[in-house]
Amino acid sequence: MQAVQVKVLNPKVIENPAFSLPTRATDGSAGIDLRACIDEPLTIKAGSTHLIGTGLAVYICDPNYAGMILPRSGLGHKHGIVLGNLVGLIDADYQGELMVSIWNRSGEDFLLNPAERMAQYIVVPVARPEFEVVTEFSDQSARGAGGFGHSGRQ
């Protein structure tokens, strides 16, 4: 994979030491933290959602990869802060600002501070199969058309 291009859209990402350009927290980290690019603390009311900018645009370019925005497990478990769309899929050809839909699924308001880590971004490979229309599948799997709850508790 070639390098992923990052464009700083908001100067506070560079000017404010609380922000940082995309980096991994540890050598074993799969993703990078995305920080809230906001001017002042934002109260996210219980049950509400807000679309928060990151001040960054990321261009993957290679269609064999995509970006994914995922929630931070600690925020989700401790504070009920998850993604409004549960996971964000960023196509390889998207060049706009990375935006994070933050949903407070808890019963208490949450204060999001400027530059606070709010989500994480990973790059994943994408299988790009061709699709063949058939009248019957080439073989019958053990599952067949069994759907929700077919294999146990419903």
User: How confident is the model over 75-124, as pLDDT tens digits?
Assistant: 999 999 999 999 999 999 999 999 999 999 999 999 999 999 999 999 99
**Rounded to whole angstroms, how far apart are CA atoms 113 and 120?**
16
134 occurs within a structural domain: no
147 occurs within a structural domain: no
Beta strand 117-125 with 97-104: parallel, antiparallel or unpaired?
unpaired
- The mean pLDDT value of the chain amounts to 91
Domain interval for residue 10: 5-125
pLDDT at 15 over 90: no
pLDDT score at 153: 65
112 occurs within a structural domain: yes
How many domains does the structure of the chain reveal? 1
Q: Are 119 and 72 in contact (CB under 8 A)?
A: yes
**Rounded to whole angstroms, how far apart are CA atoms 150 and 71?**
30
pLDDT at 28 over 90: yes
Per-residue pLDDT band for 4 (boundaries 50, 70, 90) equals very high
17 occurs within a structural domain: yes
pLDDT single digits (tens) 53-75: 999 999 999 999 999 999 999 99
| Terminal Cα-to-Cα distance of the chain (whole angstroms) | 42
Percent of the chain with pLDDT over 90: 75
131 occurs within a structural domain: no
Instruction: State which H helix or E strand residue 94 sits in.
Output: none
Domain CATH for 24: 2.70.40.10
137 occurs within a structural domain: no
Q: The tokens 């970006």 sit on which residue?
A: 67
pLDDT score at 136: 92
139 occurs within a structural domain: no
Question: Considering only CA atoms, which of 98, 109, 99, 119 is closest in space to residue 48?
Answer: 109
73 occurs within a structural domain: yes
Determine the average pLDDT of the residues in 34-47: 96
